[in-house]
Amino acid sequence: MEKQYKILDMHTHTYPEAIAEKACVNLGRFYDFKVWGKGTYSDLEEQAKACGVAGFLLFSVATNSHQVQKVNDSIAKLTELSVSRGFETVGFMGMHQDYPDFKGEIDRCEAMGLKGVKIHPDIQEVNIDDPRMLELCSIIEGRMPLFLHMGDNRPQYQYSRPDRLARVMDMFPKLTVVAAHLGGYQAWNQAEHYLFGRDNLWYDCSSALWAMTPEEAERIIRGCGVDRVMFGTDYPVMNLKDYIDLFMKINLTEEEREMIFYDNAKRFLAELK
């Protein structure tokens, strides 16, 4: 009988039912890959129950400034719903670089129980070290973490390069950051050079394991620090069970698997205000 691990999925995107199918199509078109999930909370919950996932980090991307409040209201409601159904779920707010009142929206979202900020620099077309992003970082430093999509190998999408994040973290030494995709989707050599070993930096392993061998994944995870990596699927990019199966192919000890599947995330979340 296979061991049943306790799992927190620390990278999930959900969309309102009415737009989920379109959102998944657009996501697949942006990256030129197939999106496997339906993109709805109901589908995410159904998959979670089927493979023993205990909870999620929920967020969505605001592709323009007008979407910010709607995105955040939706995430707050879904987080509340998920918790009411017995899941260990936390929500992070979305923000857009052109939103006129960072502090006001952060205050509002904090009052709704959201615990951090999610930015996708490449979809939003904003450099991590853009002055508007620096303003956001100055507001949330020491207050809540910044969760970033990281990396791309296409020349037109260099907004989330690891060296940009390194500059930001040098400027804001008390800023807690989660660098998604093991520090840089398709940019792992840069992540290794600029990010590994930094304080206040966490990682998730989402949208990475299908692009590398298990041996490469083990090396990069150990470079990040096994105690700093959290499990994530990037749902709906992949279905939960498929990504869990990919993770299980990596040569890690049982203790290390338990850390990445659950313990590291609980430690990270425990530090949030």
> Tokens 């039912």 — which residue?
17
CATH number for position 169: 3.20.20.140
How far, in Å, CA of 182 to CA of 152, rounded?
12
Domain span at 20: 7-270
On whether residue 1 sits in a domain, the answer given is: no
Q: What is the pLDDT of residues 229-240, one digit of tens each?
A: 999 999 999 999
pLDDT one-digit tens code per residue, 30-46: 888 888 999 999 999 99
> Does 23 score more than 80 pLDDT?
yes
Q: Categorise residue 62: left if φ over 0, alpha if ψ from -120 to 50, beta otherwise.
A: beta
Predicted confidence at residue 101, as pLDDT, reads 98
What pLDDT, on a 0 to 100 scale, did the predictor assign at position 187?
Answer: 94
Average pLDDT over residues 184-203: 96
Is residue 2 in some structural domain?
no
Q: What is the pLDDT of residue 160?
A: 97
The whole-chain average pLDDT of the chain stands at 95
pLDDT at 153 over 70: yes
- Lowest mean pLDDT, pick from 25-34, 67-76, 196-205, 232-241: 25-34
Domain count, the chain: 1
pLDDT at 220: 97
Residue 85: inside a domain: yes
* Confidence band, pLDDT 50/70/90 cuts, at residue 20: confident
Q: Is the pLDDT of residue 2 over 80?
A: no
3-state secondary structure of 124: helix
Structural domain includes residue 156: yes
Asked if residue 1 has pLDDT above 70, the reply is: no
Distance CA 48, CA 195 (A): 31
Residue with tokens 């927190």: 8
